[in-house]
Structure formats: C-alpha cells, structure tokens
Amino acid sequence: MKTLTCLKTFLAITIFLGISSISFAETNDANGSGANDSDQVAGSKIDAVNQAELSKQLEETAKEGIAAGNTAWMITATALVLFMTLPGLAMFYGGLVQSKNVLSVLMHCFAIACLASIIWVTVGYSLALTPGGLEDEARGWIGGKGQFFLEGLLEGQNEENGFPTSVWIIFQMTFAIITPALIVGAFVERIKFSAMLLFCALWLLVVYCPVCYWVWGGGWLAKAGVIDFAGGIVVHATAGASALTLAWMLGRRKGFPNSLKPPHNPGMVMIGASMLWVGWFGFNAGSAGAANGDAGMAMLVTHLSAATASLVWMFIEWKKTGKPGLVGIVTGTIAGLATITPASGAVGPMGAIIIGATAGIVCYFACGLIKEKLGIDDSLDVAAVHGVGGILGTLMVSYFGQTGVLGGQGISRHGEDGDGAYFTWTEQLTVQAQGCLAAIALSVVATYVIVKIVGALTGGIRVSEDDETKGLDQAAHGENGYSLN
C-alpha cells in the first residue's frame, strides 16, 4: 500500500504545482503589460530581442552564408548520432554480455569514441572527405592530406547547404566513431584492450577513410552513381565484414556454442536499442544535410523500417520458439534501422515497410547461419544484423528507390550534372553490388592484415584463459560492474 500513498502524494504535488504555475503566470501578465516586451516571457533570463536587433542579426547571418535552420538541425543531428554510441550502443551491447564483462564493453565504446575523435581531426577527415591528388584529377580511391590537422579551417567557413564546416566535420566524426564501435560486438569478453585500441586506430585509417571517400568524398563509387544515403556500405557493410573476419581470427569464447551464458541484462539491451532508434533519426535525417523535406522523409522511412522489422522479428521468434522475446524484438529494430540506412534518402514510406519486413526475416536467419552453420563466434551478431542489413538495404534501394515504386524518391541519374535519364534498377543494382563487394573485400583483407600486425605488437590479441574466466571487468579494468552489497 506504500506505493498507493506515494502515487497519491505525487499526484497531489503535481496538481498543486500545476495550479500554482497557472496562477503565477496570470499575475505576471497583469504586471507586465505595456511596460516592456521582455516581461511577456515570464521568468525568462534573456531579454526579448526587439525588431531592429533581430533584423540586424538576420542580415549578418545572411552575409556569413549561414542558413540558420540547416545549421540548427545539423548541430542537433550530430548530438543525436553521438548519443547513439554514448550510451546507446554501449548499453545495447553491455546488456548482452555476462555481468563480469559489462564494464569492458562500455569501456570499449567509450574509448573508441575518444580515440576516433582525435584520429578524425588529425588525419581522418582529410583522407575521407577532401579531394585527393591534383585538383583537376582528384584520386578516386583516397582523399588528400591538405586538411590534416584541419588546416585551413576557418571560422565562418560554410558548407554548400549553409551550415558551418566545423559542424560538417563533427557530424561526420560521429559516423567515424560509431563504425568501429559496432565492431565491438564481435570481440567482446575475450579481446585484449590494448589490441582493441590499436586495431580501431589502424582500421579507421585503412578501411573507414577510404570507403568513406569512395562513397561520400567524391571517390570512384560516388562517380559511378552509388546510393548510400547514410552508411549502408560505409558503416554497416564495413563493420559487419570486419567483425566477421576479426571474430574468426580471434577465436570463439570459452563455452561457445553449447555452454554460453544468456544476456545478463536484457533491460539494458532494450534501453540501448531505444537510444539507437531515436539517435538514428540524426543518423539518417541528418544525412540530408538540411532541415527540409528530405530530412523529414528520411526520418519517416527510418522509423517505419524499424517498427516493421521489430514486429516481423517478434512474430518469427514467437512462431519458432513459442515466446516473443524482448532481446529478439529489439534486435529486429536494429536490423530494420541498419537496412533502411542506405535507402533512407530514396525510398517512400511503403517501400520502407517492405524493406523493414525483409530485414526482419533475413537478419533473423542470418544470426543462426553465422553462428551455427559457419561456427564463427561473432558474439553479438554484428555481421548478421549490421553487415547483412546494410548490404540488403544497399541492394534493395535499387528497386524501391525508383520514382513510381511505392513512393520512391528517385535513384541515380546519368549525365555529368546528374540530370540525365534515371538508371534502370538493374544498372543501379550493379553499382550497389560493386560498392558492397569492394567495401567487403577491403574490410576483410585489411582486417586480416591489421590483426596480424596488432597481434605481433601486443603478443596476441586475446586475453589469457584465466582472465577470460575472471572476467574482463576485473582482469583488464580492475573494476566491478555491480557492487551490490
């Protein structure tokens, strides 16, 4: 009955506060009328800007080339995407491992976020998104070193869409952060921390930056007309393929596949997935680069894919195991989100529902395939969910992105200025497939080489058997996730 008393008290306080604030608001209005514009906003610390000042500000931002709406949205989207990693992905992965390893997973995500940030602004951004080689014949395969250490970045330097270049740099940085963080899922509970840091640093330079350049930096895939709105190839395919390779080289966890422990905190998994869903609005809608209809549509289709994939996964699991689980439904969510990512700028809402449904089905069975058929301990199903999902979406956009197909917004067009005839869906599919294959090939080969190098430098990328048994929280980080007594 204590709960009931608490609830009654809470309700009483809320009603009291509600009535008080209404009456105070009325009092303020009565006092302030006519005296000064600023009094109209009760309790505001900022003086209301009068008309003349406002006009002056608008003039100045127009001179600077700032589109306030676009800038505000891109800044917000950046925060949302960082939120996806910290703490969205961290919690999503954290809840899936054993309690003795929860901190190590949070640590991986956090450390990667920090490390990737520095790498991005020193060399990453320049290599990934600025033209390489000579001006008129920019290389197709990697960017230039002209903006190492963000040289030449000026305050007031803006992008085509009227938002500051500094914002563009950090928005893209959040993508460079989450991509290696996705790979964490493949090596949990047994990787050496130093090896992980080294791996991620090298991987960003050798895999992420080139592929990012190919697709978003004006590289060869962009020139070929590839469609990857927010990172089906750049983020999910690369992370998935690298995760699979790394998991295979690292070896299976002790107890795989027959005596594993279930996720220690499915609630944490759901909380993380929820944060990822919300943050993904920044990921996809932010990739529109503007506060406009494209962004709005991207947000809508992203959401529909997530919702559909969740339900489809849930129903499949219900049929196959007899019970619909929480871990299952939220995994479906992520599958839906990953799959819509490359297509979110081109498909319509109904197309998104079909994409989501397909994602739910395909990724569900991909999980079983990789673990059971291939026997690879990609512990948190990075390849099955992100890899397969990203590739699936990249391919499906060829058809569902066409105008006239379920609300499609349009795929690539021929011609130098992109104003020629639309690609046929088979033409688009060819480019998409080329992009996927190239990204996968680079990911696999580079991961293999990097792991060999890192292994040599750290004396083996895997922790000792004793440490694995003790748990990485204690063994690697000297901390306890839950000190409950």
- The two tokens of residue 299 are 């947000």
Contact between 371 and another protein by CB under 8 A: the answer reads: yes
The residues in 372-391 that bind another protein, with binding defined as CB under 8 A, are 372, 381
Whose CA is closest to 393, among 428, 427, 445, 358? Answer: 358
Q: Which of 368, 375, 420, 460 binds another protein (CB under 8 A)?
A: 368
Whether the CB-CB separation of 452 and 198 falls below 8 Å is answered with no
> Rounded distance, CA 283 to CA 298, Å?
10
* Residue from the set 328, 351, 389, 408 that interacts with another protein by CB under 8 A: 328
- Residue 68 or 369 having the CB closest to another protein: 369
Least distance between another protein and beta carbon 372 (Å)? 8
Residue from 129, 205, 233, 367 touching another protein (CB under 8 A): that is 367
**Shortest Å distance, C-beta 369 to another protein:** 9
Q: Which of 9, 157, 321, 424 binds another protein (CB under 8 A)?
A: 321
Q: Which stretch binds another protein (CB under 8 A): 107-115, 214-222, 259-267, 407-415?
A: 259-267
Piece of the chain touching another protein by CB under 8 A; list 235-243, 316-324, 388-396, 436-444: 316-324
Structure tokens at 368: 């079983």
Assess 410 for contact with another protein (CB under 8 A): no
Question: Greatest CA separation found in the chain?
Answer: 77
Task: Residue 42: name the closest of 22, 58, 62, 59 by CA.
Answer: 22
Q: CB of 105: closest distance to another protein in angstroms?
A: 16
153 Cβ contact partners less than 8 Å away, ≥ 6 residues apart: 147, 165, 166, 169
* 263 three-state secondary structure: coil
For the CB of residue 186, give the shortest distance to another protein in the complex, in Å. 14
- Applying CB under 8 A, does 272 fall inside the site for another protein? no
Contact region for another protein (CB under 8 A) — 104-112, 241-249, 279-287, 325-333?
325-333
Query: Could you tell me which stretch among 44-52, 149-157, 216-224, 323-331 binds another protein (CB under 8 A)?
Result: 323-331
DSSP secondary structure, 51-103, as one string: HHHHHHHHHHHHHHT--HHHHHHHHHHHHHHHHIIIIIIHHHHHTTS-GGGHH
| 327 touching another protein, by CB under 8 A | yes
Instruction: Give the integer Cα–Cα distance in Å for 109 and 86.
Output: 7
C-alpha 17, offset from chain centre = 40
Question: Which region among 12-20, 39-47, 113-121, 260-268 touches another protein (by CB under 8 A)?
Answer: 260-268
Say which residue the tokens 């894919």 belong to.
305
Please, are residues 377 and 251 in contact by the beta-carbon 8 Å criterion?
yes
149: left (phi over 0), alpha (psi -120 to 50) or beta: left
Smaller CB separation from another protein, 75 or 327: 327
**262 contacts another protein (rule: CB under 8 A):** yes
Closest CA to 244 of 388, 340, 360, 342: 388
What value, to the nearest 5°, has the Cα angle with vertex 246 and ends 316 and 205?
Answer: 115
Length of the chain, please? 485
406, with CB counted inside 10 A (0-12, 13-18, 19+), is: middle
From 260, 278, 350, 433, residue interacting with another protein (rule: CB under 8 A): 260
Question: Minimum Å distance from CB 251 to another protein?
Answer: 18
336 binds another protein per the rule CB under 8 A? no
Mark the segment that binds another protein (CB under 8 A) among 83-91, 211-219, 261-269, 469-477. Answer: 261-269
Mark residues 18-57: x for contact with another protein by CB under 8 A, - for none: ----------------------------------------
CA angle 119, 120, 122 (to 5 degrees): 65
- 329 is an interface residue for another protein by CB under 8 A: no
How many chain residues bind another protein (CB under 8 A)? 19
261: contact with another protein by CB under 8 A: yes
Applying CB under 8 A, which residues contact another protein?
Answer: 257, 259-263, 317, 321, 323, 325, 327-328, 331, 364, 367-368, 371-372, 381
